[in-house]
Amino acid sequence: MTTEVDFYELLEVERTADEATLKSAYRKLAIKYHPDKNAGCKDHEAKFKAINEAYDCLKDPQKRAAYDRFGHAAFKNGMGGGGGHGAQPDFGAFSDIFESVFGEFMGGGRGGQRQQRRGADLRYDMEITLEDAFDGTTTEITVDVSGHCDSCEGTGAKPGTKVSQCKYCGGHGKVRAQQGFFVVERACQHCNGAGETIDEPCRDCRGEGRTDKTKTLKINVPPGVDEGTRIRLQGEGEAGARGAPAGDLYIFLHVKKHAIFEREGTNLFAHAPISFTTAALGGEIVLPGLDGEKHVVKIAAGTQSGREVRQRGAGMPVLQGRGRGDLVVELVVEMPTKLTAKQRELLEEFRSTETGDECPQATGFFAKLKAALG
């Protein structure tokens, strides 16, 4: 009895390997075991064929899904059953593999029950302020959406009448037809895949089981949300036809630009102008935060323009977590544009006492410039 080597082991990759990893591993092994490089070596030739077989299977998403579930039996006649020379392939068993793997995408498996077509998901874009994102908020929105018909309670049938099982598909919503070795499955043309027929449609919804409605919904926005945060309201999307489940409503949040603060993750950034005397002598400024607190920013003597001062824990709250980010204040030194006579006199006096040590960067720059120019 021949032992079958696992395709993933042949390619020396994990079962979770992506397409790029598979391709890279295959190329490496194909070069190593190629017959042109190993002339006359039967073992290498057999390994080369096995590698190609493994890659041909795993590079195809459908074949790989079948292999992951059933192994080598997925590609054997009759799912590994007997049968000698001249036996015909058991396509029925092979069809069962793909029906069980991909049945969800084809409208269900062999359970004999039709799958109701769920209503569509909807998107709603909502704008909030940075303060709302900080504190969280509760608001109401109004959306136009299809809902289950009140007259027929979503059945699509005229009140007082019943919905009948489709006699052509037996309520499956699909029919099968044999074409050679293959069984082709398609939606039933008589009930359009619903599995049911309506003799007398509801007048209000014309048999759809749903009508246009306007809903008012309460939205709870938690603290810490950011641009693009998505809130899901389950079952608040489009109603499904004839009583099928409704889809979901997704609220996409957009944060308005703030006059003072810019946000990056959980950190807040602000630019604060300070006078040149405060920058030179040191001091402090008070900056109101989104939390309503007054944050005192200490300024060291000799502060240069562009220096950043960080206030730990004064930023945005962590969404569905604990703690807060930081507040980062960039200090911008502002030069005076208007001076009184007294101020000018004092500055002139200061300039007359300068030695060059007060501004080492400027002194060093001009010293380098002078040396460079000879």
Was 41 annotated as part of a binding site? no
Residues whose CB is less than 8 angstroms from the CB of residue 18 and which lie 6 or more positions away in sequence, other chains included:
none
Was 169 annotated as part of a binding site? yes
Was 152 annotated as part of a binding site? yes
Closest CA to 322 of 223, 235, 234: 223
Was 205 annotated as part of a binding site? yes
Pairing relationship of beta strands 249-255 and 122-128 according to DSSP bridges: parallel
- The span from the CA of 250 to the CA of 229, in Å, is 10
Residue 362 CB coordination number (10 Å): 10
Residue 374 CB coordination number (10 Å): 4
Find where tokens 């926005």 sit.
Answer: 221
CA 139 from centre of chain? 25
Was 359 annotated as part of a binding site? no
Task: Give the helix ranges, DSSP H, for 209-287.
Answer: 276-281
Was 202 annotated as part of a binding site? yes
Residues whose CB is less than 8 angstroms from the CB of residue 292 and which lie 6 or more positions away in sequence, other chains included:
none
User: Which residues sit opposite 117 in a β-bridge?
Assistant: none
- The span from the CA of 49 to the CA of 62, in Å, is 21
Was 57 annotated as part of a binding site? no
**How far from 213 is each of 148, 216, 238, CA to CA, in Å?**
9, 10, 10
User: Which residues sit opposite 331 in a β-bridge?
Assistant: 272
Q: Residue 246, SS3?
A: coil
- The span from the CA of 193 to the CA of 175, in Å, is 9
What is the secondary structure of 169-208 as a DSSP string?
A: TTTSSEEEEEETTEEEEEE-TTTTTSSEEESSB-TTTTTS
Which residues contribute to the annotated binding site? 149, 152, 166, 169, 188, 191, 202, 205
Which residues contribute to the annotated binding site for Zn(2+)? 149, 152, 166, 169, 188, 191, 202, 205
